[in-house]
Amino acid sequence: MNSAVDPKPVVTGYPAAGAAYPYPAPHPPAVHYYPAPAPPPPPYRSASTLLLRRIIVGGIAIFLAAAAVTLVIWLILRPRLPDFSLSSVHFSPPSSYDLMVSVYNPNSKISIEYDHVSAAVLYGRDAFSEVSIPSFLQAKRNTTMLRARIAADDLARAIAEDRSRGDQTVGFHVRLMALVRFKSGIWRTGRHGMRVYCDDVSIRFKNATGDSMFGAPKRCQLLWMLTERLEFPFLEVDT
């Protein structure tokens, strides 16, 4: 007697419908490696250009070193400006004025050199007779007396006119200028202009013969300049 048996599934050798294998992942794109480009060559500099650059750099270095040394010496020595005073004024008939100027060097370590020294007198608003004074070297803590003789007929006439109106006291201004530099051993500064103002100087005539009398010494003001230019544009008096 045959018994009922479930039929076996049929195997065909193919996967069942609806079941499929995924496609393999694509290969990455091919990358081509190239060597890094060579760096650009340095700019061409001729030997003369390099030499010029070294000269400029060396010159700047020398200048800065010299400036630093000068500054250190200046701070150590601490130069002080001289003191000027008008010590005396004497009228010598018929038309000469003798001026005595006291110059004091207050420095204990520095001498002062004066060149191209000159003086002038200003009466009213007119300048008369600029005169030269010999150059000199002033020692440390030294007082030097400068003599300047101003001879000017126009100045004498102007003063005589004022005296004829009864004014026996006349006032005028004295100006000096010079090129100055400080010295200490082998160290020295450059030359600088110096202007000296002795304003409102008064003398009194005692009689008609011209004998004059001057009061106490009058201290003058000094203006230090950064240039060597010397001229007398500073004669004018501010009013």
Residues 104 and 162 in one domain: yes
The residue from 32, 55, 77 where one domain ends is 77
pLDDT in tens, 181-228: 999 888 888 898 999 999 888 877 766 555 566 767 889 999 888 776
Residues 214 and 109 in one domain: yes
Instruction: Tell me which of 128 and 51 has the higher pLDDT.
Output: 51
Terminus-to-terminus CA distance in the chain, angstroms? Answer: 158
Q: What's the pTM value of the predicted model, to 2 decimals? A: 0.65
Residues 59 and 131 in one domain: no
Most confident of 9-13, 58-62, 110-114, 156-160: 110-114
Residues 138 and 63 in one domain: no
Q: Does residue 213 sit in helix, strand or coil? A: strand
Residues 109 and 207 in one domain: yes
pLDDT in tens, 67-98: 887 777 777 778 899 999 999 888 776 667 88
Name the percent of the chain lying above pLDDT 90: 27
Note down the domain range covering 159. Answer: 83-235
Amino acid at 114: Y
Residue 116, domain member (yes or no): yes
Residues 159 and 226 in one domain: yes
Residue 172, domain member (yes or no): yes
By mean pLDDT, which of 133-142, 153-162, 168-177 is the weakest?
Answer: 153-162
Distances 36 to 22, 31, 32, 33, 40 between C-alpha atoms, Å? 41, 15, 13, 9, 12
Task: DSSP for 129-188, please give it.
Answer: EEEEE--EEEPTT-EEEEEEEEE-HHHHHHHHHHHHTT--EEEEEEEEEEEEEEEETTEE
Residue 22, domain member (yes or no): no
Residues 60 and 145 in one domain: no
Residues 195 and 230 in one domain: yes
pLDDT on residue 239 = 43
Residues 227 and 149 in one domain: yes
Residues 88 and 71 in one domain: no
Name the percent of the chain lying above pLDDT 70: 67
What letters, b where the CB count within 10 A reaches 16 and e where it falls short, cover 121-136? bbbeeebbbbbebeee
Residue 179: pLDDT over 90: yes
Residue 24, domain member (yes or no): no
CATH of the domain at 106: 2.60.40
Domain count, the chain: 2
Residues 92 and 144 in one domain: yes
Residues 55 and 95 in one domain: no
